[in-house]
Structure 1
Amino acid sequence: MIIKKCLNNGVIIGNCKIAMIIKKCLNNGVIIGNCKIVMIIKKCLNNGVIIGNCKIVMIIKKCLNNGVVIGNCNIAMIIKKCLNNGVIIGNCKIVMIIKKCLNNGVIIGNCKIVMIIKKCLNNGVVIGNCKIAMIIKKCLNNGVIIGNCKIVMIIKKCLNNGVIIGNCKIAMIIKKCLNNGVVIGNCKIAMIIELRVALM
């Protein structure tokens, strides 16, 4: 809901600085404030150069390039299979959407995925393949598990209740990093986000 309010109203509420940064960078194409996260991803993907702390992107790059599973880049491996083989494996519908956008070269706004999510959240209408966005909205709004929105529900429960349920280790890691400011396990991603938010 924080993300929704930021994207819809353009107002910084609570800790939704990340959402605002992403929106402004992607929509306006202008580097404002400390939107280094978005810019790092762009530079890494475009230039293939490691700049700053873009370890997240580099992990994805290594998985895609070398085909080797390093660390916990299972997500990247799924992306690789979808992009390379063009086959839908598991629930990688998100990746398939990315593939269609990149391959077909039809640009709607800046990055179709973002546009699809925005339209779904704003209008509440299912357009094209924006089932993911609708699932996220319904989960956050109604608190009901619909379809395959287990990921969202897990994140919500972890962040709200502070209880580890199922495989919500990612959410717990992010919570601990952001709240306590302590590096636990492999929460480098969360720490990077925390540092960038703190610099704002």
Structure 2
Amino acid sequence: MLTALHDCLQDLFVVPSCPICKKVIHTHQHADQPCNDCTQKLGLMERGLRGATPVRFNAAGWYRGKLRREILRLKLNQDLSVLKAITFALRRTLPAKALLVPIPSWKTQKRANPLPALICLSLGRTTKTLLKRCRPTVGQHHLSRRQRLANMQSAFAINPDQQSWCVSETPIWIVDDILTSGATAREALNTLKSAGFGVRGLICLGRTP
């Protein structure tokens, strides 16, 4: 009753709009939820796009078309409201006690991909920087799958600042923006598992077709 009254009062003073396209919507029930048009145009899945290969994953949708362009824009403008809308379905499927581990970049902070950490922020779950890069790796855009696997071998280690941290039965998910060959995700996952952490899989924005 109080929630409905609160939403009604909000509608009187603030015009609700879709976080992505900014078009007026008719309810304040889910302020972070994308409108139906954006959901369809971006190909966002109601419960995420799920799969088990090359690693177990849950993505917002296929990395193509308008979702691909939106993800590329997010790397530049880092709009958290848009990111929350894209990850809305993913957030609903994650357990409240889930622990998120963003995959770190080997680049300097100014040049690093900001999306893994921002995705964790948009999902609203506890985040730990359990992983660190051991060495630089080359860009993987033009590498074959075999080359990508070799490129990522032994690229990660457990962050020394987190080595004494115990996760017990907390479900851990690694987080990245895109899942392509799975070389990066697999190496990150194996590094955590070798250190005794239980990892459920990968959360990402897009899975390449």
Give the TM-score taking structure 2 as reference length. Answer: 0.27
Could you say which structure has the higher strand fraction? 2
Larger Rg: 2
Could you say which structure has the greater relative contact order, defined with CA pairs below 8 angstroms and 6 or more residues apart?
2
